[in-house]
Amino acid sequence: MASARTVGIGRKNKKKKKKFRTRKICLPDYTTLFQAATMDGRTVFTLAEVASHDNRNDCWLIIEDKVYDVTKFLEDHPGGDEVLLSSTGKDATNDFLDIGHSSAASAMMEEFYVGDIDSSVIPAKGEYIPPKQPLYNQDKTLEFIIKVLQFLAPLVILGLAFGIHIYTKTT
Ligand code: HEM
């Protein structure tokens, strides 16, 4: 009996499935394919997608490979809204760390977390290489000679004048 019922239900389901297949067309969401992908329950954004949220009404930041929607925080941010707006469209990690934000600030960030960034799409930070030649001319010899001459010239003129005066007086 049980097996007969099972067979019956199976047939019904088979019919329903056929109906569904013929009527509904399932297409992938191409927008999400190009903009964001879901991996292990996390949303992974591309830099282009995050960079498009760059204004007062919609402001996203990338800090340590995580994406934060700080739109609602703009007015309350103790450092002001301008700094947050100027940190959009790039990896703002250094900006954030350079300020020396408190642990309270870091704890607040969780509230604004919206996903992760595909770190492979962020341009690598160039390593700073100091110039081999100093940027200014360190050879100060000429400068020194000019300064000495500037000091000596009035003394020489004074000496000459004094000498002429003595000479004319004696003759
Ligand atoms: C989700 C991201 C951020 C959160 C939650 C956040 C939060 C905070 C908080 C709570 C403070 C008060 C001081 C402290 O507790 O450390 C602060 C100050 C400040 N923040 Fe942020 N911040 C964020 C991102 C940024 C970014 C990207 C910049 C870019 C430069 C920035 C610049 C500043 C500045 C300039 C101050 C003022 C520091 C001072 O007056 O000494 N913040 N922020």
Q: Residue whose CA is closest, atom 28 of ligand 1?
A: 96
pLDDT tens digit string along 3-22? 434 444 444 444 455 454 44
Of 70, 73, 107, nearest to 62 by C-alpha is: 70
Distance of CA 35 to the CA centre of its chain: 19
Does the beta carbon of 1 lie inside 6 Å of ligand 1? no
Does the beta carbon of 101 lie inside 6 Å of ligand 1? yes
Q: What are phi and psi of 33, to 5 degrees?
A: -65, -40
Distances (CA, A) of 21 to 8, 9, 36, 77, 164: 20, 18, 28, 52, 119
Question: Predicted confidence band at 134 (pLDDT cuts at 50, 70, 90)?
Answer: low
pLDDT tens digit string along 27-83? 444 444 445 666 667 889 999 899 999 999 999 999 999 999 999 999 999 999 999
Range(s) of the domain holding residue 87: 31-121
Distance 97 CA to ligand 1 centre (A): 9
Q: Look at the chain and report how many structural domains it folds into.
A: 1
Element (H, E) at 95: helix 93-99
Does the beta carbon of 60 lie inside 6 Å of ligand 1? no
CATH number at residue 48: 3.10.120.10
Q: Residue whose CA is closest, atom 19 of ligand 1?
A: 79
Atom of ligand 1 nearest to the CA of 104: 15
Domain-embedded: residue 137: no
Domain-embedded: residue 46: yes
CB 94 within 8 A of CB 65: no
Does the beta carbon of 109 lie inside 6 Å of ligand 1? yes
Domain-embedded: residue 25: no
Domain-embedded: residue 114: yes
Domain-embedded: residue 128: no
Q: In a 3-state reduction of DSSP, which class is residue 47?
A: helix
Tokens linked to 123: 């341009």
Domain-embedded: residue 80: yes
Alpha-carbon distance 114 to 136, whole Å? 47
- pLDDT value at position 31? 43
